[in-house]
Structure 1
Amino acid sequence: MNSRTSFALLAVLTAVGTLTMSSAYADEIPQACVGCSMEDARATSNKMLMQDIPVSVWTDKTGYKQGDVIMVNGQVANVASGFPVTITVVSPLNSIIAVDQITVGNDGTFETTINTAGNMWKYDGTYTIKANYGSADKKNSVKVELTGGVAYKPNYETPTTSKQCGANEITANGHCVPFSISGGTVTSATLNTDDNSIVININARESDGTLTVTPSKTVQDGIFMVLVDGQEWDDVEIVANKVTVMFPAGTEQIEIIGTFVIPEFGTIAAMILAVAIISIIAVSAKSRLSIMPRY
């Protein structure tokens, strides 16, 4: 085999290898080039792979301590002038704790820093950093572990059955929430006061389905996000307090997040008690002043 033939065969094998690797990474690169600098990424074949992906994102490390600064880098495959990359951070509680828009360079690269100091980062666990560029399909994410904070313990309230709800309602901490479902059954519901959410457990093993929930504004208000089995879900319609979720077969839990959820009775009772005590003290003080002799 002469040198020309060998070179041609090598070129064919290289092309086939590149196509195979690109298809394997076409959907999403988890932890894309974690620990690499931009210079390192450009010096490896990962650079070629990232050019085939709409947007990629990576961090300088996989683990951090609370208060550390996370270095975030990334690259978009096709630069659209005037469009920034939106960075969203989701906490172990599945709540959004940070959103920022980053300018993309002419070469398609972007970078930013995220400070993990503050109350929003107080829980230990896995934080997801998402990058989105223009449209829903141009996205990627990377996960980092944070330690040195507080161990997260979900504060899901124990469901009560003291209140009888209708056939098309489910009890969530004693409150009746209207719902309808196809393709599955609702098994239970609880109020998560930490995340201002309603957590609904369903059985949908056989087929895809649809869940519609319409909580009253006294129970939940300001609905803006839905999680399906812990993942942010886009196949959702939200009209005021009516939420319709299209879920796939096998779904076990749907969480509807708002800006308010009714607090547990103990919290309200404590507030009422505090106000009552303050009122009694104020009235007593005024009474003592009124009976004091005046000179």
Structure 2
Amino acid sequence: MSSAYADEIPQACVGCTMENARETSNMMLLKDIPISVWTDKKTYEHSDMIMVEGQVANVASGYPVTITVVNPLNSIVTVDQITVADDGSFETTLNTAGAMWKYDGTYTIKANYGSADKKNSVKVELTGGVAYSPGYQTPTSSKQCGASEISADGHCIPFSISGAVVTGATLNTDDNSIVININARESDGILTVTPSKTVQDGIFMILVDGQEWDDVEIVGNKVTVMFPAGTEQIEIIGTFVIPEFGTIAAMILAVAIISIIAVSARSRLSIMPRY
């Protein structure tokens, strides 16, 4: 199986996996690097699953590995924290089906362990999607969200998650909701979302995979959802969600048309002869 490695990883280890690395001297090469990360392939199509594995040289109890994925637009696709095993190994799965994964090109998967100097990265190529050209900006917004924010239709929403990876998010103006797609692993997890009141307000209901969910905590605009393994979608419903630009434009246009009709009618009345 071909593996894609960061440039810093010795070339003698290219092509190895965690299983055969333990059986060869390649493991000694990995030990010379504070943290290493690799994938099962170098090239993927959209909707593929990316298997990410890695190794930490010196395990620090209680510290997870933070995985950050950046797309060709230099926007953060997803962030997740991975538990490190006693032997220093870690692994996770990334689903490329989300909206932030739609562009063809180079995606950088970064791994960080505790401090700024304990980091590594690997690059993979995605094909068969939307062609990307340098300098292109998404039509919804050029704003880049931070590592602890979800991008939903151009709006950045603070979040944290354990036991799953966020693959994308959208705003549903019909239901006044935020729809968050996740890829949950084999264990249960927790998602915390804190949208600003300019994005969503009056949160009163949570749906997990389309079913009303009770295992939640809502405090103002902070929502904490305890979800089971295998969950794919969480929807946060409120009394308000910010409309997309197109909706606002339509409302403005409607008001303008009504105003024009009113002014025109008044003008016709003013020029009609009176007897």
How does the TM-score come out when normalised to structure 2?
Answer: 0.50
For 1:99 and 1:30, locate their aligned partners in 2 and report how far apart those are by CA, in whole Å.
Answer: 26
Mapped pair 1:109 → 2:89 = yes
**Cα pair 1:32 1:57 within 8 Å, conserved:** no
For 1:30 and 1:98, locate their aligned partners in 2 and report how far apart those are by CA, in whole Å.
Answer: 27
Deviation at 1:274, TM superposition (A): 3.2
For 2:58 and 2:27, locate their aligned partners in 1 and report how far apart those are by CA, in whole Å.
Answer: 14
1:93 — aligned with what?
Answer: 73
Q: In the comparison of the two structures, how many residue pairs are matched?
A: 161
SS at match of 1:153: coil
5+ residue gaps, structure 2, are 1-6, 145-155, 157-243, 264-275
1:53 — aligned with what?
Answer: 33
Q: Mean Cα displacement is larger for which, 145-154 or 37-46?
A: 37-46
2:272 — aligned with what?
Answer: none
**RMSD of aligned alpha carbons:** 3.8
Relative contact order: is structure 1 or structure 2 higher (C-alpha 8 Å, sep ≥ 6)?
Answer: 2
SS at match of 1:93: coil
Q: Aligned pair in 2 of structure 1 residues 38, 110: CA closer, same or farther (>3 Å)?
A: same
**Cα pair 1:128 1:141 within 8 Å, conserved:** yes
**Cα pair 2:10 2:29 within 8 Å, conserved:** no
2:110 — aligned with what?
Answer: 130
**Cα pair 2:53 2:90 within 8 Å, conserved:** yes
Letter in 1 for 2:250: A
How does the TM-score come out when normalised to structure 1?
Answer: 0.47
Letter in 1 for 2:119: K
For 1:72 and 1:32, locate their aligned partners in 2 and report how far apart those are by CA, in whole Å.
Answer: 19
Q: Aligned pair in 2 of structure 1 residues 73, 87: CA closer, same or farther (>3 Å)?
A: same
Letter in 2 for 1:274: A
**Rg larger in 1 or in 2?**
1
1:62 — aligned with what?
Answer: 42
Percent identity for Structure 1 against Structure 2: 69
**Cα pair 2:13 2:29 within 8 Å, conserved:** no
Poorly superposed stretches of 4+, deviation over 4 Å = 30-35, 154-157, 270-273, 280-287
Kindly indicate which of the two structures has a greater share of residues assigned to helix: 1
From 258, 269, 277, the equivalent of 2:253 is 277
1:196 — aligned with what?
Answer: 143
Q: Aligned pair in 2 of structure 1 residues 32, 148: CA closer, same or farther (>3 Å)?
A: farther
1:130-169 mapped onto 2 (5 Å cutoff): 130-154=110-134
Letter in 1 for 2:142: D
2:61 — aligned with what?
Answer: 81
Q: Aligned pair in 2 of structure 1 residues 113, 28: CA closer, same or farther (>3 Å)?
A: same
1:207-218 mapped onto 2 (5 Å cutoff): none
Deviation at 1:83, TM superposition (A): 0.3
Letter in 2 for 1:90: V
**Cα pair 1:125 1:145 within 8 Å, conserved:** yes
For 2:19 and 2:131, locate their aligned partners in 1 and report how far apart those are by CA, in whole Å.
Answer: 37
